[in-house]
Amino acid sequence: MIDLKFLRENPEIVKQNIKNKFQDGKLPLVDEVIELDAESRKTQQEADALRANRNAISKQIGGLKENGQIEEAEKLKEEVSKYAQKLAELEEKEASLQEQVKKIMMTIPNIIDPSVPIGKDDSENVEIQKYGEPFVPDFEIPYHREIMEKLNGIDLDSARKVAGNGFYYLMGDIARLHSAVISYARDFMIDRGFTYCIPPFMIRSDVVTGVMSFDEMEAMMYKIEGEDLYLIGTSEHSMIGKFIDTILKDKDLPYTLTSYSPCFRKEKGAHGIEERGVYRIHQFEKQEMIVVCKPEESMAWFEKLWQNTVDLFRSLDIPVRTLECCSGDLADLKVKSIDVEAWSPRQKKYFEVGSCSNLGDAQARRLKIRVNDGAGSKYFAHTLNNTVVAPPRMLIAFLENNLNEDGSIRIPEALRPYMGGKDVIK
């Protein structure tokens, strides 16, 4: 959510940003929120004037009573009661206007960074750099489900009976590999100075609306029936939520946290060939990283975060590339985003395995995450998040890039301690 004062003073900048994100339908909202805000401030001024008059008359009443002028005091009391009724009406109107302003402000997209390329959708994202040499072996690589099934590592049919499409049982060495990747990613981030955290896997609605847009919320989140609780779609949500309605100390920044969690997503419209595997599913596990920092440091942290993911994949011999997300592919709260994609020898192309985002002060403004600068002023922190690793997709890249012709799987040296010393899965 952008600053209302900024929108009030720079409506054309906000409108151009909306155009850059190809959301022209939202353009009228800028003028609408300006009108509502003006009416709200006018109502507030009227209410403030009434309160001042009421307080002045109340003092007069006290003075009249002290002087024994009871009749005059009673007349003024009648006047104060009229003020009270009018004041209640103004306060109700003011609250309603402020709620309307807030609702609209939460749908107006954040101001994107000037470096973001302008484009309509993910087809116009821009490749930045490749890391590692993409390799295609001289033997056919099966679909990842077939690789897992030959190793007795997955049971989708039983999962479908138990929970439906989009779920799985991982078994044996594949299940162990899944856990090994998560444990390795955890230690990888701890070694880079991040504090390890296991967060709540459910969050309240005020946290949900604080960390994501309404469209994302509808497309992703599972609601717990009868309770003000949602299953998290990523641990970033509860990690950022940890700081809701807090005033942090400037000297304590940045907060750098890495978290493990299961994740739950509706994945609406996710049908087709990928249902046969674990590429797009309703339940998975993930290692995440988040940073809460000073505004002037957020872009430096942004570069560090996506580099962590690149370094982790390269330490496991998986070629990757980075893509700059264009304006139309950015969620409304994001200032800038980079996707990390892993190489698929089977498809002979890259596919997304993680996303790094700088949200500026949008989440902090919604969640009231403020920082005391030590000199009597407060400002909103900047928040960032990035996927360390999400094993279902990561497993696809891992299996395809480490598959031997006989169907066995190589275990890179870095992962062997987490696999009981194994160097191959047969």
344 located within any domain: yes
Provide the pLDDT for residue 74.
64
Residues 175 and 210 in one domain: yes
Residues 307-319 pLDDT 10s:
999 999 999 999 9
**How many Cβ atoms from other residues are within 10 Å of residue 40's Cβ?**
21
The residue with tokens 């230690």 is 187
Provide the pLDDT for residue 274.
45
Say if strands 349-358 and 169-170 run parallel, antiparallel, or are unpaired: unpaired
Q: Rounded to an integer, what distance in angstroms lies between the CA atom of residue 157 and that of residue 167? A: 9
Mean pLDDT (the chain) is: 92
Residues 151 and 92 in one domain: no
- What is the share, in percent, of the chain residues with pLDDT greater than 70? 92
Q: What are phi and psi of 258, to 5 degrees?
A: -125, 135
115 located within any domain: no
The residue with tokens 């997304």 is 352
Residues 392 and 319 in one domain: yes
Q: Which of 412, 374, 420 lies closest to 394 in space, CA to CA?
A: 412
Please give the tally of structural domains in the chain.
2
* Mean pLDDT value of segment 311-328: 97
Is the confidence at residue 276, as pLDDT, over 70? Answer: no
Could you tell me which residues are beta bridge partners of residue 285?
A: 262
Least confident of 81-85, 128-132, 160-164, 298-302: 81-85
Residues 219-235 pLDDT 10s:
889 999 999 999 999 99
- What is the share, in percent, of the chain residues with pLDDT greater than 90? 81
- Structure tokens, 43: 């109502």
Is the confidence at residue 275, as pLDDT, over 50? Answer: no
Could you tell me which residues are beta bridge partners of residue 343?
A: 350
Q: Which carries the bigger pLDDT value, residue 82 or residue 283?
A: 283
Is the confidence at residue 295, as pLDDT, over 80? Answer: yes
Domain residue limits at 372: 122-425
Residues 99 and 158 in one domain: no
Is the confidence at residue 75, as pLDDT, over 80? Answer: no
The model's pTM is 0.89
Contact 216, 110 (CB under 8 A): no
Q: Which of 309, 366, 346, 349 lies closest to 189 in space, CA to CA?
A: 309
31 located within any domain: yes
Residues 13 and 127 in one domain: no
Contact 315, 188 (CB under 8 A): yes
C-alpha angle 325/326/327, rounded to 5°? 125
Provide the pLDDT for residue 214.
76
- Structure tokens, 39: 């009416």
* Mean pLDDT value of segment 173-193: 97
Residues 231 and 91 in one domain: no
Residues 42 and 14 in one domain: yes
| Distant-in-sequence, close-in-space partners of 363: CB < 8 Å, separation ≥ 6 | 210, 211, 240, 333, 369, 383
Provide the pLDDT for residue 268.
65
- Structure tokens, 314: 């390269």
Amino acid at the residue 404: N
12 located within any domain: yes
* Mean pLDDT value of segment 88-102: 92
Alpha-carbon distance values, 393 to 108, 148, 160, 379, 412 (Å): 32, 13, 19, 38, 18
Alpha-carbon distance values, 383 to 95, 105, 169, 195, 249 (Å): 29, 19, 35, 16, 15
110 located within any domain: no
Residue 104 three-state SS:
helix
Residues 237 and 380 in one domain: yes
- Structure tokens, 405: 């012709």
Q: Which of 392, 370, 390 lies closest to 381 in space, CA to CA?
A: 370
Say if strands 369-372 and 409-410 run parallel, antiparallel, or are unpaired: unpaired
The CATH number assigned to the domain holding 364 equals: 3.30.930.10
Residues 352 and 382 in one domain: yes
116 located within any domain: no
Q: Which of 73, 105, 137 is the last residue of a domain?
A: 105
